[in-house]
Structure 1
Amino acid sequence: MQESTPSPRFFDSLRSLLGNVAAMARTRLELASVELAEEKARLMQQAFLGLLGLAFLSLGMIALTALIVILCWDTYRWQVLAGLVALYFGIAAYCLVRVRRQLQDAPAMFEATLAELDKDREALKS
């Protein structure tokens, strides 16, 4: 009885296929790491600028509130304060709604990587 042994060409083909799959996986991981680094840099920049803007906005609003109350101290002090409080809450609500909408509409992380992996999966199926 003769045993069937795989030909050397089979092992070469298998080795080549595994090498191609490994190279493809490496490329996809590199793409994912680049996207992650870009997302991290973008988020850090937005957080820094947002906090800096909020700090200066707070200082400006405190100074403006004090100025308006001092100007209206004798006649309409509580009405002016109530109006400013309503204005500040309105602006805060508007900003929070905008942030929420932007977070909901943001593209998915690793969108390009997932698209490439889907293409790879489809290519391997056919």
Structure 2
Amino acid sequence: MEHSEPRAPGLIGSLTGVVKNSLRLVLSRIELAALELSEVRRHLVELSVLFALVVLAAWFAIAFGTATLIYLAWDALGWKILLILAAVFAVIAVVLVMTIKKMILQGRLALSATMAELKADRDMLL
């Protein structure tokens, strides 16, 4: 038996290798996306539960506090106390909306690692 050198793969062998590597790359990116999506889902559940509890607690605090303020200030201010409280609640609502917007813009719900890997793959291929 002669000892022969391994032959270099032909066109079919090279194409098969490229296809296999491409499939491995796609699968690894899908796994990364699935991992990040589960993390985002967990954050969304936590955020939803906390938001519901905050809304409930705030609603009771606002209702009882408002009723108390109206009762105590009605003799001195009359209907003006209602206008003052409406302005205060509007300011609070604006601050809360800005806080929520800030959280969203910080990218806490984004798939940053997946997007970075996909961009790197695109840059490498092009």
Q: Normalising by the residue count of structure 1, what TM-score does the alignment of the two structures yield?
A: 0.77
CA RMSD of aligned residues (A): 2.4
SS of equivalent to 1:118: helix
Instruction: Provide structure 1 residue ranges, at least 5 long, that are not aligned to the other structure.
Output: 1-6
C-alpha distance in 2 between matches for 1:85 and 1:36: 40
Please state if 1:61 is matched with 2:55: no
Q: CA separation of 1:113/1:92 partners in 2, compared to 1, >3 Å: closer, same or farther?
A: same
Instruction: Provide structure 2 residue ranges, at least 5 long, that are not aligned to the other structure.
Output: 1-6
Following superposition, the deviation at residue 32 of structure 1 comes to 0.8
Moved more, 105-114 or 15-24: 105-114
Higher RCO (CA-CA < 8 Å; seq separation 6+): 2
Corresponding residue for 2:33? 32
The alignment of Structure 1 onto Structure 2 pairs a total of residues equal to 119
After TM superposition, which residue ranges in structure 1, 4 or more long, deviate above 4 angstroms?
none
Q: Normalising by the residue count of structure 2, what TM-score does the alignment of the two structures yield?
A: 0.77
C-alpha distance in 2 between matches for 1:113 and 1:43: 18
Corresponding residue for 2:96? 95
